[in-house]
Amino acid sequence: MLKLPTIFLLIIFSFLAVIHIIALELFLYWRFWWFDIPVHFIGGVVVALGVFTLHDLRIVIPARLLQLVPVLLLVILAAMVWEVYEVLIGVSIEGDAILDTLTDVGMGILGGLVGYAVGTSLNKL
């Protein structure tokens, strides 16, 4: 049976996927400069909850990695890989690229903190 962190991950990941698909179809990332900020936040939540899910499913994640620092390091790594991906596919950034990248990574980290708090709380139930 699936544990609560996994159920939350599936719900939030599905929500993220739907928002992302709609945003791409309607060009929302290009129409509204701020639209990717909450998406990066939700992405951070998804990555953090993903660690708990992998542990719940007994895939490669030992319990000692369910601490704040390893989870946040993984969130930062995922955010940086995504930023590199955006550059490689040619996502144009109007304005300050460094500020945009720092904002995106910062929102991912905040989302990771929320995801970690949710995962930790649900793991105790």
pLDDT in tens, 53-111: 998 888 877 778 889 999 999 999 999 999 999 888 877 666 788 888 899 999 999 99
The model carries a pTM of 0.91
* C-alpha distances out from residue 11 to 35, 52, 99, 102, Å: 20, 14, 30, 27
Per residue in 16-65, pLDDT (tens digit) is 999 999 999 999 988 998 999 999 999 999 999 999 999 888 887 777 88
The predicted structure's pLDDT at residue 1? 77
Number of domains in the chain: 1
Range of the domain at 113: 4-124
